[in-house]
Amino acid sequence: MRVTLKLYASLSDFLPDEAKRTNEWPMDVPDGTTVGDMIKRHQLPARLVHLVLVNGHFIPPAGRDGRALVDDDVLAIWPPVAGG
């Protein structure tokens, strides 16, 4: 199935070079892949995975391993951000 991974701010360093301009990485993943699987597969540090959305809907930390992705899902992840 085809999903799109979007990584923002410092997490964009984990994208391949060709995806860094748009922060989007469309990819094929096996059926049954979960949000947690994607975080692990791309070696995203747990301390940097803060806000996680699938198609604009918040996925809390406790639900990430159980939330299976489906074809055409967009997984967006932001690190903690501080501002002033």
Kindly report, residue by residue over 11-70, the tens digit of the pLDDT: 999 999 999 999 999 999 999 999 999 999 999 999 999 999 999 999 999 999 999 999
* pTM summary value: 0.94
The CATH number of residue 65's host domain is 3.10.20.30
Which of these, 12, 3, 84, 74, lies nearest to 48 by C-alpha position? 12
CB 50 within 8 A of CB 18: no
The boundaries of the domain holding residue 38 are 2-78
- Domain membership of residue 45 (yes or no) is yes
CA atoms within 13 A on the CB side of 5: 25
Q: Is 84 within the bounds of a domain?
A: no
